[in-house]
Amino acid sequence: MKVKKWTFFQLFVIRYLFIGFLFLLLFSSCCDKYLAYKSLYQFKSEDKKPDFSNLNYWAAHPLKQDPSDSVPKPLRKEKRDTLVDVFFLHPTMYTMKLKDSSLNADIDDAYLNAKTDYSSILYQASVFNQHARIYAPRFREAHISAYFPKDTVAAIKAFDLAYEDVKTAFDYYLKNYNHGRPVIIASHSQGTTHALRLLKDYFENKPLQKQLIAAYIVGMVIPKDHFSSLKMCEDSLQTGCVCGWRTFRKGYKAPYVEAEKDFSLVTNPLTWKTDNTYASKKLNTGSVLFKFNKVYKRTTDAQIYDGLIWVTRPKFPWGFLYSTKNYHVGDINLYYMSVRKNVGQRINSYFTTNH
């Protein structure tokens, strides 16, 4: 009898070790897959700055085929149009070991450019492609360590340099492509750090504010006193407003959230309201996670709590192996279909109101 119990225990342990090994193998292959695309990014800048007259320095652009044009297989029969523009700013990709003393990425780093295009641009920027032309500039992003700096002055300089590229790209876009078209500002993580500045510099209390359908600035704090005339969206149809959220497991606050002096402004990405009404997972019509061509329905819920979105543990295949309580990387993807639908709602509302 003892032998049988031990054999059962051995099989139990081997089974879960094998599952863990498969998970690690899958995770490793996902991280390394960008190496296969490096050969597509062999362009070089003479002055080490992005040249936005060159399409190579746009991660997404209507004049070229890029990952932002991709549509998950279940959605390929939906009607599409290009009534508006989206200016999208990607999150931090520069997370590996620093190459030198500089906190900014090289604009011609082939691996980083591949990683940007086949992660953020594919899985995040694509959410907007049903109704919009997508512009996503490359910029000399700040290294992830700039958010937790030992040298605050150097970190500020790194973010300023990245924002300088973002501004240059947006100026080029306005001069050469916008032509008075309505625009959506969209971003995640470090992209939102820059989008907050961009909205202040170009939209708030300026003529361009009339062209703003909405800003989806996700994954970072939105300080309560950052904007004066730009307000948080209060429902799914309001335009000229701002949406944003950060996603965590219910009951959890990351240490850096605990250290924040005030609660962030926040939108519920299922109800598109700013109150703390609970939104069940029945309202979540689809998430696009590890497999781009698979839409998972009812993965999780959403409720505002202390400037965050709190959710129950998302349910998807092999999700039990995903033990983190910080869903930052999935801020947009967990609510992919909700965002996609809402973009269309706000565009329709904008044109109905303005025309």
**Residue predicted with more confidence, 270 or 5:** 270
The pLDDT tens digits for 206-226 are 999 999 999 999 999 999 999
Label the pairing between strands 58-60 and 132-137. antiparallel
Mean pLDDT of 166-178: 98
Q: Rounded to whole angstroms, what are the CA distances from 16 to 109, 254, 289?
A: 38, 29, 23
Bridge-based pairing of strands 303-305 and 58-60 is unpaired
Residue 9 scores a pLDDT above 90? no
* Beta strand pairing call for 132-137 and 84-89: parallel
Residue 16 has pLDDT above 60, yes or no: no
- pLDDT range class, residue 100, cuts 50, 70, 90: confident
Evaluate whether 112 touches 105 at the Cβ level (below 8 Å): yes
Residue 295's CB is within 10 A of a number of other CB atoms, namely 18
pLDDT at 7 over 60: no
* Range 297-316 average pLDDT: 97
Residue 293: the pLDDT is 96
pLDDT of residue 89 exceeding 70: yes
The predicted pLDDT at position 22 comes to 40
Coil/strand/helix, residue 167: helix
Mean pLDDT value across residues 140-145: 97
Determine the pLDDT at residue 106.
97
Q: Which of these, 263, 191, 267, lies nearest to 225 by C-alpha position?
A: 263
Q: Is the pLDDT of residue 26 over 60?
A: no
Across residues 51-77, what is the average pLDDT? 97
Tokens matching residue 291: 């497999």
Residue 250 has pLDDT above 80, yes or no: yes
DSSP string covering 62-81: TTS--GGG---GGGTTS---
Q: Compute the average pLDDT of residues 74-87.
A: 94
Residue 151 token pair:
């040298």
**Predicted confidence band at 321 (pLDDT cuts at 50, 70, 90)?**
confident
**pLDDT beyond 50 at 24:** no
**What is the predicted pLDDT for the residue at 2?**
42
Q: What confidence tier does 32 reach under pLDDT thresholds 50, 70, 90?
A: confident
Which is nearest to 104 in space by CA: 49, 45, 158, 152? Answer: 158
pTM: 0.91
Give the mean model confidence (pLDDT) for residues 338-354: 96
Task: Of 28-32, 53-57, 110-114, give the lowest mean pLDDT range.
Answer: 28-32
Least confident of 74-83, 231-240, 331-340: 74-83
Q: Is the pLDDT of residue 29 over 50?
A: no
Structure tokens at 74: 């279940």
Listed range (22-36, 247-261, 272-286) with the worst mean pLDDT: 22-36
Instruction: Detail the DSSP E strand segments found in the chain.
Output: 58-60, 84-89, 132-137, 183-188, 212-218, 241-243, 247-249, 303-305, 308-311
> Nearest Cα to 211, choosing from 199, 227, 193, 228?
199
Q: What number is the average pLDDT over the span 94-105?
A: 90
Long-range contact pairs involving 154-160 (C-beta distance under 8 Å, separation at least 24) = 154/103, 155/103, 157/103, 158/102, 158/103, 158/104, 159/193, 159/194
Beta pairing partners, 279 = 302
Arithmetic mean of pLDDT over the chain: 91
- For the cut 60, the answer to whether the pLDDT of residue 344 exceeds it is yes
